[in-house]
Each structure stands twice: as C-alpha cells, then as structure tokens.
Structure 1
Amino acid sequence: MSSLELRGITVRYGRFTAVENVDLLVPEGTVTGLIGGSGSGKSTLGKAVVGLAPMHSGRVLVAGSDAGRRRGRSPVQLVFQNPYASLDPRMTIGASVAEAVPRETGSREPPARKAPARERRAVREAEVARYLELVGIDPARAALTPDALSGGQRQRVALARALAARPAVLIADEITSALDVSVQGAVLNLLRRLQRELGFAMLFISHNLAVVRYVSDQVAVMDGGHLVECGPTDRVLEHSEHPTTRNLISCLPTLPSPEEASCPDH
C-alpha cells in the first residue's frame, strides 16, 4: 500500500491559475473525496497528478518518493468520467486491458532466459481475464469492442484497465456521473469493494456529496483553485468550518416528510 501526497501543486494555463498551492495527503489504503463547485479546480488537480494538466510548480509523492522520477509505469492511474471517450473504439476490451498489464507480469525466468512468446501471451491473457472477472465482466467478452457494451460495463472495463497497471494510487474523476442512476450504485459498490480488497489509496473526485460520503474516509473541499477545508468525512459534512462547504451542503435537495407529502399544499 502507498500514500499520495501533494505538495504545493499549482496549475496554470497562460495567465489563468486553475489550481494554486494545494497541499493534500491521501493516506495509504484510504479514500479521500475531493468536492467543489463547477470550475473549482478539482478535476484539474486530479489531471495534474498524472501529468495531464500543466503543473507550474509542486511535487507529487507516492509512498514518499517523487512520482515523476519513478521509472516504468506511473504508480498513479486515472479513471475518467466518460467511459465512451476513455476506451479506444477500435480495440477489443481485452486488448485495452492488456495494454496496461506490466510486461514482466508472471515472468519468473531470469533475465538471460526470456519466456517464449506463446507463454508470455498466455500469461497476459490470464491476467486480462483475471481483471475482467474482478470488475464483473465475463472474460469470454474480451473479444468485444466497446460499442457492444453498456455505459456501466464500459466504465467497469476502464476500471479493469487502470487496476491492471497495478497502481499504488487510483484517481476516480466523476466516474459515475455519466451513468444511469440505476447503474451508479453497482459501480460504487464495486469500487468500494476493490479498494478495500486491493488496498490502494484513492482520490475520489465528485460533485455528489452523497456519493462522496458513501466511499470516503476523509473529504477535501476546493473553491477557486484553493483547498479550503479537509478532514474526516463526518466532521466535514456535518460540522463544516468553511462557507464553501456549507454552501455545497445547503444545495443538496431535501425530500418532504411523509406528513408533508400527504398535505394538499405540498
């Protein structure tokens, strides 16, 4: 297991500063929910961690080491909001997952004796099947392309691909917002179970406070590119200290009580 630590992260697009001097710690084996209004910088921060946004200054540390200086695959993987755009429509889902599987997977041969191509391919296919099963996709469907799957199934494949890279840290950016409400719960339950079983740290980005409460150990709040509040989930959502947090909570819809619902005036 590994932690994710952000130190002084600043993201600029020309003269516009999208994220300014953000410090945040996601402890190992835990989930930090990152919330904020539209344009608050939360998604930009997540993209900066994996190098998809121009980081002007700051450091990204995984288990105390600079993530940018690690060799090989990044220890941080990002699952995007839109499952339609995150998968190559021309590739089979099996090939998409296989792309993320580390080359050395399953190899017990010394460097001087490289396993035959057929053996390496068999090991790779077994890994693909394992990760598809892990997210609830029948491995027999590995030869299908994304257009043959539903939105929820595509998001599961995107998750399988991220996990196949064996990340120490996973960033989930609004991964249920493009899904039907009936599918969201199943994907969230899956993500929560996998995070606990595999033990990776996770930064869960969402505008949905109910979802954040469900999956997160702590909550961080952004406003105008700044991190304005951070703490244990219950404390932040029930006893918030910053006006931005209180405003986000006040915008949550409330259902009338049974007595109010039965009243003609309601």
Structure 2
Amino acid sequence: MSALQVDELTVRYGRMTAVDRVSLQVAPGSVTGVVGGSGSGKSTLGRAVVGLAPVSGGRILVDGADAKSLRHRGAHPVQLVFQNPYASLDPRMTIGASVAEALPRMPGPQRRDEAARYLDLVDVDPAYLTRTPDTLSGGQRQRVALARALAARPRVLIADEITSALDVSVQGAVLNLLRRLQREAGFAMLFISHDLAVVRYLCDRIAVLDEGRLVESGPADEVLRDPQHETTRTLLASIPARPAVPGGQEAAA
C-alpha cells in the first residue's frame, strides 16, 4: 500500500485546467520528485494533495484512506512546507508558538519542551523559542517551517521548492537536513522542484509534468539516464555544471 496515492487528479480554475488527470504513488519511506517548468502544475498538485487547491476530479488516498475524509475528522496526515520562508510563518507569533501550534494537545510546559525538541531536530537553537520570524535568516525560517510540519507527525510531507528562495550557500545545508530527517523518520515525501540536479540527489522516483499533465515517470535513475519526453530532456539540459548540493557551510542560517 502506498503512503500517498493520487488517482486521476484534476484541478480546474474556471475554464483553465491546472492539473489534468494526474496519477502517481509515493511508497512509505520513499521520495518522489515532481518536476516541470513554470506553470506546469507541480505546485498546484502539491496544494491539492494537502487540501489547499480545489479538486475537480479524481481521488487522493493516504495509507488507503480518503485524504479529505481524514481532514474532516481532524487528522492532518499530509503537511506542506512552502517555498517562501518569509511568508510561511506568522510574523506575530514566536517561533516556539508556531511549532507548538502543530503539536497534539498536552500541558503547556510539555508543549514548550516538545517545540524545543523539534527546533533542535532541525538544527535551530532551542533558545530561539521566544524569537519572532523577523529576527531569523531565510535558512533559519525554512528550518522552523520544517520543524512545524514535522511536529504534526505527518505520514506524507510535501516540500514545494523549499530551497529556491534561499542563497546557494544555504541550499545545500537545508537539503542535507531534509534528506537526513526523511531517512530517520521514514515519512513519504513529495518533493516539488524545477531543478533536476536537486531531485537527482534526493528522490527515488521522478514524475515530470508539462501543462498540467504527467508526461513521464519512473525510477529516478531510469528517467535521468534515458529520458523519453522532450520536457524531461529540456530540464536535464538546464542542469548547471555544479554539484547537486552546494558545498560549504550555512552562514547565519
């Protein structure tokens, strides 16, 4: 059974079809990369899976159960980490409160301790619990957003271009952190990106979107070694001549 199963998913905005009958599966403990150019529908797909975009057709299952029904019962087995770390955190809340908000009900002191534990898990100093987002760097904010998502104990994590707004010097550290956490916690992940170099580093499988349609999918090694669709070949040709994950330390991140 797949942790995430998307069957014939369609998302429409008026007459425009943003996602057109897309089907994919993400096995427990695995990472599927969703790639495509601007406007291909990849971010809309991720938002639909987590319930933030209107579903016009198809179904979304998490461990075999309907995702919408799970949300109606108060369960949130799918969590999304947004692209922009400067917009994803409430500027009026401390980062400790933001992380604690995702935790199950528990006494106040225990919630604080758990929030501190999740910050430590993503390599943010727990002493920052009382800070507000405006005092953090972009890399730190993205780590806090990741901590908040993990605090909800998701079965599936959706990461939507989570390093594209960060400096190159910070991207590698955040990607390495994400890879380590995914392997340790074993959650399934849908990793959305336009960068095949990053997808190659993180993902077990690749799904390629073009104009809202799934045009190619398969094991990452096979898709990258022998791409069958022109969109995939174009994305491969655009990989810069640098390592998939930049080296160096994450300064002030």
TM-score range, shorter chain: over 0.9
Q: Write the distance in 1 (CA, Å) between the matches of 2:147 and 2:196.
A: 25
- Partner Cα distance (2:173, 2:97) in 1: 24
Equivalent residue number for residue 84 of structure 1: 86
Aligned to 1:131: 118
Q: Residue 113 of structure 1 corresponds to which residue in structure 2?
A: none
Residue in 2 that maps onto 1:154: 141
Residues 157-236 of structure 1: pairs in structure 2 closer than 5 A: 157-236=144-223
Structure 1 residue 19 and structure 2 residue 15: aligned? no
The alpha carbon displacement at 1:41 in A equals 0.4
| SS of equivalent residue, structure 1 residue 78 | strand
Paired with 1:253 and 1:132, the residues of 2 have a C-alpha distance of: 33
Per the alignment, do residues 254 and 160 of structure 1 end up closer, same or farther by CA in structure 2, a change over 3 Å counting?
closer
Q: Which amino acid aligns with 1:5?
A: Q
d(CA) in 2 for partners of 1:246, 1:149: 38
The 8 Å contact of residues 96 and 130 in structure 2, kept in 1 or not, is answered as yes
Displacement, 1:252?
2.6
Shift of 1:125: 1.0
TM-score, normalised via structure 2 length: 0.92
Instruction: Label 1:125 to 1:2 Cα distance change in 2 as closer, same or farther (>3 A).
Output: farther
Q: How much is the aligned-residue C-alpha RMSD, in angstroms?
A: 1.2
Q: Report deviation, 1:235.
A: 0.7
User: Is the aligned partner of 1:121 residue 2:78?
Assistant: no
The amino acid across from 2:11 in the alignment is: V
* Higher alpha-carbon Rg: 1
The sequence identity of aligned pairs, in percent, is: 71
Residue correspondence of structure 1 range 96-115 to structure 2 within 5 A:
96-103=98-105
Q: Partners of 2:214 and 2:8 in 1: how far apart?
A: 11
* Match of residue 262 from structure 1: none
CA contact (8 A) 1:79 1:172 kept: yes
Instruction: Tell me the equivalent position of 1:9.
Output: 9
- Does the Cα contact within 8 Å between 1:2 and 1:169 map onto a contact in 2? no
Matched letter for residue 193 of structure 1: R
The size of the alignment, in residue pairs, is 240
Range moving further from structure 2, 51-60 or 213-222? 51-60
Q: Deviation above 2 Å: which 4+ runs of structure 1? A: 251-255
Structure 1, unaligned runs of 5 or more: 106-119, 256-266
1:94 to 81, 89, 96: 96
Give the deviation of 1:254 after TM superposition.
4.2
Partners of 2:34 and 2:199 in 1: CA distance: 8
Q: Once the 2 structures are TM-superposed, how far is the Cα of residue 243 of structure 1 from its aligned partner?
A: 1.6
Aligned partner of residue 101 in structure 2, secondary structure:
helix
Which SS does the other structure have where 1:184 is aligned? Answer: helix
Asked if 1 retains the 8 angstrom alpha-carbon contact of 2:9 and 2:55, the reply is yes
**Aligned residue identity for 2:24:** L
Q: Could you say what secondary structure the match of 2:175 adopts?
A: helix
Q: Distance in 2 between matches of 1:42 and 1:12?
A: 14
Matched residues in 2 for 1:82 and 1:254: separation?
Answer: 26
Partner in structure 2 of residue 140 of structure 1:
127
Q: Distance in 2 between matches of 1:64 and 1:135?
A: 30
How far apart, CA to CA, are the structure 1 residues paired with 2:228 and 2:149? 35
Give the drift of 1:73.
2.8
CA distance in 1, matches of 2:108, 2:237: 54
* C-alpha distance in 2 between matches for 1:158 and 1:213: 23
